[in-house]
């Protein structure tokens, strides 16, 4: 078992910088496309054998130091009682968006082992086969709330913010229910065998710092506290790079960093208590191999002062990315960081 990734999560010394790639199991890989061509996206998420198969692909092909479970952050939301659909054009659609207290009270806090057993089954299959650690994950409460309130993606998140500002108790009740679900969901993944968990706060960056502190942060803190000591927790607040001194209050073991900040500035803002993960611009993989190497060097250098560093992109790998450049990235990280 290659445990370099886990050592870096804990801030222990490693002989090189471990690397994995957000969305590494995904559309840029022909091997993924082949599996996906036979089933729709939700079926892929819900079929343990197939989810496990595509989760392993990038470990074999790219030689990354960790696998991440193939799934979607809205899986537990569906289990809470919302009708979920993935549209090729529009992305996720959640029917009957949550806008009032009746809708909130109808939602269930899930028991993941019973309600989404296929996730735990995929985890169990994976841990038998993998020779690298497996990362489980969940959306963060605020991010899940935006999908539930908006009914899908959004441009300005006005429904979410209206609820926050105009009926803060209702918003709080929704966030509490989601938080209970996320804790149960991540705990179940850990019980099934994942080695670490990542909390994706993909829409944290639509909040001003004052709103992030008032409406989002404490729920992440509750999740981190509940899981403390059970498995390393990575918290990734996308587009939150201008408020990292607040983000660090989440208390995670590792903080994901997007590509909008110089890594040295991020390390400085996050302080010395946590490891960092990131932060190459995914589009760098459209450049030549020399550019990729040069930029990898820059990120490695910027992270030198961190307690630990897990190399990653600053956002998910893009569907059009040439696979050979993703391979070159992993090679460059391993080679250039060898100590």
Task: CB nearer to a copy of itself: give 8 or 261.
Answer: 261
Q: In sequence order, what are the beta bridge partners of 137?
A: 198
**Shortest distance, position 153 Cβ to a copy of itself, whole Å:** 11
Kindly report the backbone phi and psi dihedral angles of residue 309, in degrees, each rounded to the nearest multiple of 5, phi listed first.
-135, 125
Q: Which helix (H) or strand (E) holds 231?
A: none
Q: Is 320 an interacting residue with respect to a copy of itself (CB under 8 A)? A: yes
Q: Is 176 an interacting residue with respect to a copy of itself (CB under 8 A)? A: no
Give yes or no: 36 in active site.
Answer: yes
* Distances from the Cα of 327 to the Cα of 22, 28, 120, 333, angstroms: 14, 12, 29, 10
Q: Is 38 helix (H, G, I), strand (E, B) or coil?
A: coil
**Shortest distance, position 203 Cβ to a copy of itself, whole Å:** 12
Catalytic residue, chosen from 10, 27, 222, 260, is 27
**CB distance 253 to 233 below 8 Å:** yes
Task: CB nearer to a copy of itself: give 118 or 286.
Answer: 286
Catalytic residue, chosen from 28, 32, 72, 115, is 72
**Shortest distance, position 114 Cβ to a copy of itself, whole Å:** 37
Q: Is 172 an interacting residue with respect to a copy of itself (CB under 8 A)? A: no
What size, in residues, is the chain? 339
Task: CB nearer to a copy of itself: give 31 or 211.
Answer: 211
Cα separation of the two ends of the chain: 20
Q: What span, in angstroms and rounded, lies between the C-alpha atoms of 59 and 268?
A: 31
For a copy of itself, the binding residues in 188-227 under the rule CB under 8 A are 205, 207-211
Two tokens, residue 164:
């926050």
Calculate the CA dihedral of residues 55, 59, 64, 66 and round it to 10 degrees. Answer: 50
Task: CB nearer to a copy of itself: give 181 or 241.
Answer: 241
**Shortest distance, position 290 Cβ to a copy of itself, whole Å:** 10
**Shortest distance, position 10 Cβ to a copy of itself, whole Å:** 27
Q: Is 124 an interacting residue with respect to a copy of itself (CB under 8 A)? A: no
Q: What span, in angstroms and rounded, lies between the C-alpha atoms of 137 and 199?
A: 6
List CB contacts of 177: < 8 A, sequence separation 6 or more: 80, 104, 107, 109
Q: Is 87 an interacting residue with respect to a copy of itself (CB under 8 A)? A: no
Write each residue from 41 to 80 as x if it is in contact with a copy of itself (CB under 8 A), else as -, in one continuous string: ----------------------------------------
Helix, strand, coil % in the chain, rounded to nearest 5: 55, 15, 35
Give yes or no: 147 in active site.
Answer: yes
Residue among 27, 161, 222, 249 that touches a copy of itself (CB under 8 A):
161
Q: Which helix (H) or strand (E) holds 255?
A: strand 254-256
Catalytic residue, chosen from 32, 147, 185, 219, is 147
**Shortest distance, position 261 Cβ to a copy of itself, whole Å:** 4
Give yes or no: 27 in active site.
Answer: yes
Write each residue from 253 to 292 as x if it is in contact with a copy of itself (CB under 8 A), else as -, in one continuous string: ------xxxx--x---------------xxxx-xxx--x-
**CB distance 255 to 235 below 8 Å:** yes
Catalytic residue, chosen from 10, 36, 222, 260, is 36
Two tokens, residue 218:
């404490």
Interface stretch with a copy of itself, choices 155-163, 182-190, 226-234, 331-339 (CB under 8 A): 155-163
Give yes or no: 10 in active site.
Answer: no
Q: What span, in angstroms and rounded, lies between the C-alpha atoms of 211 and 94?
A: 25
Report, as residue numbers or ranges, the catalytic residues: 23, 27, 36, 72, 147
């Amino acid at each position: 078992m290659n445990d370099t990734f886990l050592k870096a999560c804990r801030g222990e010394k490693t002989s090189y910088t471990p690397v994995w790639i957000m969305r590494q199991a995904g559309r840029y890989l022909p091997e993924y496309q082949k599996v996906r061509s036979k089933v729709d996206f939700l079926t892929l998420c819900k079929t343990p054998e197939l989810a496990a198969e595509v989760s392993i692909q990038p470990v074999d092909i790219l030689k990354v130091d960790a696998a991440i479970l193939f799934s979607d952050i809205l899986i537990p939301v569906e289990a809470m009682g919302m009708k979920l659909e993935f549209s090729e054009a529009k992305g996720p659609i959640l029917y009957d968006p949550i806008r009032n207290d009746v809708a909130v009270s109808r939602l269930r806090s899930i028991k993941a082992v019973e309600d989404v057993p296929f996730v735990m089954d995929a985890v169990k299959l994976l841990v038998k086969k993998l020779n690298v650690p497996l990362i489980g994950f969940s959306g963060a409460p605020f991010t899940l709330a935006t999908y539930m309130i908006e009914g899908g993606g959004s441009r300005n998140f006005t429904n979410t913010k209206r609820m926050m500002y105009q009926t803060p108790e209702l918003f709080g009740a929704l966030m509490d229910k989601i938080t209970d679900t996320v804790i149960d969901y991540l705990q179940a993944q850990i019980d099934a065998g994942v080695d670490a968990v990542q909390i994706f706060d993909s829409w944290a960056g639509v909040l001003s710092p004052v709103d992030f502190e008032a409406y989002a942060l404490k729920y992440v803190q509750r999740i981190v506290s509940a899981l403390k000591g059970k498995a390393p927790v990575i918290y990734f607040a996308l587009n939150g790079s201008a408020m990292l001194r607040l983000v660090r209050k989440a208390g995670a073991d590792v903080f994901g960093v997007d590509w909008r900040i110089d890594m040295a500035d991020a390390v400085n803002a996050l302080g010395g208590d946590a490891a960092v993960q990131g932060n190459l611009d995914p589009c760098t993989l459209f450049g030549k191999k020399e550019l990729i190497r040069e930029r990898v060097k820059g990120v490695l250098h910027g992270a030198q002062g961190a307690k630990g560093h897990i190399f990653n992109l600053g956002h998910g790998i893009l569907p059009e990315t040439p696979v050979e450049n993703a391979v070159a990235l992993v090679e460059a990280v391993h080679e250039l960081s060898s100590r």
